[in-house]
Every structure is written in structure tokens, then in C-alpha cells.
């Protein structure tokens, strides 16, 4: 993919922090944060999934989490993390979406266009 390494770093740091913060304390054996990267067949795009086994997001909030200042974290959330992630990914020609995991937890999926080496020259 082509884009700013610092900005992509910010996107994945935000997603990983959110994933870790969604997992309740005290049961590490039953929880995981997993990152899965896979090309989307023949479409010139790559998906990066940040998956967690945390609390999940209520269906009515699944779109709202991308709004600036939307937060459910009483103490220290600004609610800006995902709105910034969304802006960076969209500006890079990609998409950022949230899905419920079948079992429990959440998957944030970043899709980015693949830039072939030939395009770079
Ligand atoms: N992996 C996740 N699992 C469950 N809920 C999530 C997850 N990621 C985000 N959320 C929900 O989306 C809200 C907004 O997330 P966002 O990253 O924008 O802000 P925040 O994490 O609350 O604050 P900040 O990013 O400034 O620390 C969170 O408060 C939380 O309710
Ligand atoms: Mg956050």
C-alpha cells in the first residue's frame, strides 16, 4: 500500500489500543487480540482485520463509533481515535468498518488499495 507510515502507524495503534481496552481484566487465557492480513481476491485490495474477543459494540452504536467525540469510556476516552482512523484510511483510498465477531468481540476491517511496484516508478 502507499501512504504515510506515521499515519498508518497511528491507525493501527488506535485499533490495537481499542481492542486491548475492550477486553475485560482478569481472564487472559480466554482472550486474544489478533491481526489478520489477507489480499481480497483479484480486486487489487488488501484487508487488515484487527480482531478482539472483548465486550463487543451494541448494534445501535456500530456506525456511531466513528463520530468525533463518541466514547463509552467514562474516565479517559476522548472519542477521537476512530474518527481520526476513519479519516486517514478514507484519505488513502480505503475503507474502515466495524463488524461483530460471530462468537464474541469485534473486528475492525481496514481495506486499502494495493499499489503495484510498476505504479511506483
Ligand atoms: N474494539 C472495540 N470493542 C468494543 N468497543 C469499541 C472498540 N473500539 C472502539 N469501541 C467503542 O467505540 C468508542 C469510540 O472509540 P474511539 O477510539 O474513537 O474513542 P475512545 O477509545 O473512546 O477514546 P480515545 O481513542 O481517545 O482513547 C469507544 O469508546 C468504544 O465504545
Ligand atoms: Mg480509542
Beta bridge partners of residue 113, listed in sequence order? 45
pTM: 0.93
pLDDT at residue 71, rounded to an integer: 96
Average pLDDT of the chain, as a whole number: 93
Q: How far apart are CA 40 and CA 105, in angstroms?
A: 23
Look at ligand 1, atom 7, and give the residue with the nearest C-alpha.
18
Ligand 1 touching residue 73 (CB < 6 A): yes
Q: How many CB atoms lie within 10 A of CB 4?
A: 12
Predicted confidence pLDDT, tens digits, the chain (121 residues): 999 999 999 999 999 999 999 999 988 899 999 999 999 977 799 999 999 999 999 999 999 999 999 999 988 889 999 999 999 999 999 999 999 998 899 999 999 999 876 655 5
Ligand 1 touching residue 70 (CB < 6 A): yes
From 13, 17, 18, mutation site for ligand 1 pocket: most ligand atoms within 8 A of C-beta: 18
Amino acid at each position: 500500500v502507499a501512504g504515510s507510515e506515521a499515519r498508518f502507524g497511528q491507525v493501527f495503534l488506535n485499533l490495537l489500543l481499542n481492542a486491548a481496552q475492550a477486553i475485560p481484566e482478569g481472564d487472559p487465557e480466554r482472550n486474544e487480540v489478533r491481526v489478520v492480513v489477507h489480499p481480497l481476491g483479484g480486486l487489487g485490495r488488501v484487508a487488515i482485520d484487527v480482531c478482539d474477543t472483548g465486550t463487543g459494540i451494541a448494534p445501535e452504536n456500530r456506525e456511531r463509533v466513528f463520530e468525533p467525540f463518541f466514547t463509552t469510556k467514562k474516565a479517559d476516552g476522548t472519542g477521537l481515535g476512530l474518527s481520526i482512523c476513519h479519516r486517514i484510511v478514507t484519505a488513502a483510498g480505503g475503507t474502515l468498518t466495524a463488524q461483530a465477531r460471530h462468537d464474541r468481540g469485534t473486528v475492525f476491517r481496514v481495506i486499502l488499495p494495493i499499489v503495484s511496484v510498476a505504479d511506483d516508478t
